[in-house]
Amino acid sequence: MGRRVPLCLGAALLAVVLLAPAGRAGTEAQELCVVVVQGLSLSDLEPLEDEAAVGVLVPGAGPRVSEASALAALERGQVRNSLRGGLPEGPALIRVETASELPACRPAIVLGLPEGGDQPNTRRYPIAVIGDGYGGLLTSRSTHLPGLVSIVDVAPTALRGERALASVDEPGAVAAIRALDRRIADNADVRPLAALLAGVLILCLALIAPRSALLGFGTALAANLVLGATGTSTPWVVLLTVGLAVGAGAPLLALAVRSETAVAVSLAAVIGGYLVALAADGATVALAPLGPEQNSRFFGLSNLLSAFLLVPALASPALLLRRRGWAPALAVAALSLVTVAGGRFGADGGTAVVLVLAYAVLAIELAEARRRLVLLVAA
């Protein structure tokens, strides 16, 4: 009995020694300190331009965020959309400190976070990675937009993980992220107004000139692409451009393209333009007025853009099938599916499913198949 007690104590001590590091492994591997600076502003980052890479950080996913949800996402390196409720689960991967001013430790990640309870997720917060070879603008695999960072990027960076933030040289980096932040805010303000304006004008055209209404979807999409390519987000300019594109551009285009084939080609050209833009420079679409909201989806097509694209994506193959046969119709359908569902471009899975089903029903209808097959396809 006397020998068993020391043996048990020794085994217990050995277990503590072996298990203790495992319980702290997530934070012991941290190589950059992470400091949340209360009240941090973009102006506070200006003195750091020579020794840091800077950006603006999206603190959550979905329309709402809170201090608690942002901190939980920061520590765990994962986010939970506010529409689902609750906080991210799992163990904390990093230690997070709080300070009232920029810290002296180097290398470090300093950032601001929301303060208080539930609030709209419409504000972006300053972030800087100081030292460790960083400089210019922060780049993120999550957002694909230089200067824009997701909160899930911080933990991998502190741990020097595979998905750590990188940086690109940019003179006047703080001015660049200030302009980026303003552009995102302007787009958020004008997006519903621009969509409503385009919709009302298309509806009015549908009552008097159906072909112009159909082409109105194409001209609205083209105007959005031009605004994104030129970096235009001033609300009154956006509304004027969209209004002229639909209200005047669509009727003028209808006068120029009189045949159904020409209408189909015009609509297909718009879809092709989006595919080229997504492949060449995703920011053209991502930062366009009708692009993603930048609070959960950062690049690719937004739900709003996908909805606008559905009409050309269906009308163009239908017109081509009726006038030119199956080959060109299938080509445009394939083009549309790649644009909407291409993984490289930020695949919109929901719209892809809708599009595939719509194509199946459309093909049955245009092939004059038996009506009951429509129910089979739907199932």
324-372 pLDDT, tens digit per residue, is 888 898 899 899 888 887 756 665 667 778 777 777 777 776 666 555 6
pLDDT band at 28 (very low <50, low <70, confident <90, very high): low
Q: Residue 190 pLDDT more than 70?
A: yes
Element (H, E) at 149: strand 148-150
pLDDT surpassing 60 at residue 14 = no
The dihedral sign for the CA sequence 44, 157, 116, 287: positive
Which percentage of the chain shows pLDDT scores above 90?
63
Beta-carbon count within 10 A of 88 CB: 19
Q: What is the mean pLDDT of the chain?
A: 86
User: What pLDDT shows up at residue 362?
Assistant: 74
Lowest-confidence segment of 49-53, 175-179, 217-221 by average pLDDT: 49-53
Query: What residues contact residue 220 under an 8 Å CB cut-off, 6+ apart?
Result: 198, 202, 242, 245, 246, 308
pLDDT at 368 (0 to 100): 61
Three-class secondary structure of residue 331 per DSSP: helix
pTM: 0.85
- Residue 44 is classified by DSSP as G
Radius of gyration of the chain (CA): 26
Q: Residues 180-206: what's their mean pLDDT?
A: 96
Residue 341, pLDDT score: 78
Query: What is the reported pLDDT for 296?
Result: 82
